[in-house]
Amino acid sequence: MFENTAEKMARTGVIPVITVKNIDSVLETAAKAIEKGIGAVEITFRTTEGLSGHRMIAEAIKSVREKYPELMVGAGTVINAELAEMAKNAGAEFIVSPGLNPATVEWCLANDMPIFPGVATPSEVELALSYGLTYLKFFPAEALGGIKMLKALSGPFPQVKFMPTGGINESNYKDYAELKNVFCVGGSWVLGN
């Protein structure tokens, strides 16, 4: 499910994760992505400002989509269905979550919104498969055993592809990207964000 979106992300290879400080800084970072030939970014809903912070992040997503329509924009750290709806309304083209929240997944499926939920265990992979999802985030990758864990998961789950994030950096991302069950990697190091 959501193969077309995953294939576009795979062509990018590395998805920069952008934390919003303000809208201008996100626009600058998006411009850097385009200059470097990067075709997709993930703008995270990480904030300590509650609803007002989430609204600013949604506005940042909308601003990037309007100013740089050639850039694929996803929303990250989407931890509930309300944020998924806010992201979709802002123009996000995909959702990435740190975990697998059934309510969020069900909202995304009902609203034809590509979602890549985070998994950390074989049981969570099985839950994702029960929803028809075969492209998943693997988070936090390094803390969970990284490449060794992904290789171990490839045996029982040959149909699943992962986007590892968490501890991925300039020195190890190529090792992850070479794995057959990895469709792209994500990280904040890419654009110095």
CATH code of 38's domain: 3.20.20.70
140 in any annotated domain = yes
Q: Is residue 69 part of a domain?
A: yes
Catalytic residue among 59, 137, 170, 180: 137
Per-10-residue mean pLDDT for the chain, 193 residues long?
92 95 95 95 96 97 98 98 98 98 98 98 98 98 97 98 96 97 94 72
pTM: 0.95
Q: Which of 8, 21, 32, 42 is catalytic?
A: 42
Kindly state whether residue 193 falls inside one of the protein's structural domains: no
**151 is annotated as an active-site residue:** no
Kindly state whether residue 191 falls inside one of the protein's structural domains: no
Determine the Cα–Cα distance for residues 173 and 163; give it in Å rounded to an integer: 11
The answer to the question of residue 189 being in a domain is no
**Do residues 76 and 92 lie in contact, with contact meaning Cβ atoms separated by under 8 Å?**
no
- Known catalytic residue: 137? yes
Least Cα distance to 166 among 192, 133, 144 occurs for 144
Residue with tokens 């969020």: 104
Tally of structural domains, the chain: 1
Asked, for residue 128, whether it belongs to a domain, the answer is yes
Range of the domain at 114: 3-183
Task: For residue 61, report the phi and psi dihedrals to the nearest 5 degrees.
Answer: -60, -45
